[in-house]
Amino acid sequence: MFPILLCYSLCLMMIIAAFGAVYVKNLTSAVIAAGAISLAASLLYLLLAAPDVAMTEAAIGSGLTSVVFLYTLHLIKKIDEGDDD
Amino acid sequence: MADTIYTISAFIALAAVITAGVRLIAGPTVADRVIALDVLTIITVSLIVYIARMSGRIIYVDVAMVYALISFVGVVAFARFLERGL
């Protein structure tokens, strides 16, 4: 009974985080919402008996994608500050 | 007896996920959301170990270990970005 409840709550969390990632104004909060999506997706892959996919999703989606997006935001901020000069 | 303890711990973890999710949605600043995501990651690691215990597959614990290591790097990157821009 509990895995079904966990699956439903993970799907609800993924949908809410996806809407948040699209509609939120602050870009850093959007990156955080994308990280929450990959967190829920990793746990859902594990519940669907795919531990290797869950491990890859944890490494790529939660770790690498957040760092790459933050580096891009940092470069955008630096370019905007350069245009002001 | 052990089954009752497992069920109670699972619902406690679910309540913790809901509480951290409320803070993740309604956090006024970005730092609140980063902390909420970190708390959600820690609860997720405990849930992965719970699923490994329930399904009887010991390979799932490796996923928990990888997830704990990778999420630490992500939170450190968020903290550096918020402080002085990566």
Averages of pLDDT over runs of 10 residues in chain B (86 residues) are 85 87 85 90 89 86 87 86 76
pLDDT score for A77: 82
Residue A22 forms part of a structural domain: yes
- Which structural domain, as residue segments, surrounds residue B41? 2-82
Structural domains of chain A, count:
1
Q: How confident is the model at residue A85 (pLDDT cuts 50, 70, 90)?
A: very low
Interface residue A59 vs chain B (CB under 8 A): yes
> DSSP string of chain A?
-HHHHHHHHHHHHHHHHHHHHHH-S-HHHHHHHHHHHHHHHHHHHHHTT-HHHHHHHIIIIIIIHHHHHHHHHHHHHHHHHHHH-
Residue A3 lies in a domain: no
CA B83, CA A62: separation in Å to the nearest integer? Answer: 20
Task: Report the candidate in A50, A55, A62 with the shortest Cα–Cα distance to residue B62.
Answer: A55
Assess if residue A85 is contained within a domain.
no
Neighbour-count burial of B22, counting CB atoms closer than 10 A to its CB (0-12 exposed, 13-18 middle, 19+ buried): exposed
Query: Is the predicted pLDDT of residue A84 greater than 60, yes or no?
Result: no
pTM: 0.85
| Residue A50 lies in domain | 8-80
Scan residues 49-68 of B and list those with Cβ closer than 8 Å to A: 51, 54-55, 57, 59-60, 62-63, 66-67
Indicate the residue of A51, A58, A74 with minimum beta-carbon distance to B70: A58
Q: Is the pLDDT of residue A62 over 70?
A: yes
Count of the separate structural domains present in chain B: 1
Task: Look at A66-70, A81-85, B28-32 and tell me which has the smallest mean pLDDT.
Answer: A81-85
Residue A1 located in a structural domain: no
Is ipTM strictly over 0.90? no
Backbone angles phi, psi at B56, to 5 degrees: 75, 20
Is position A39 within any domain? Answer: yes
Kindly state whether residue A25 falls inside one of the protein's structural domains: yes
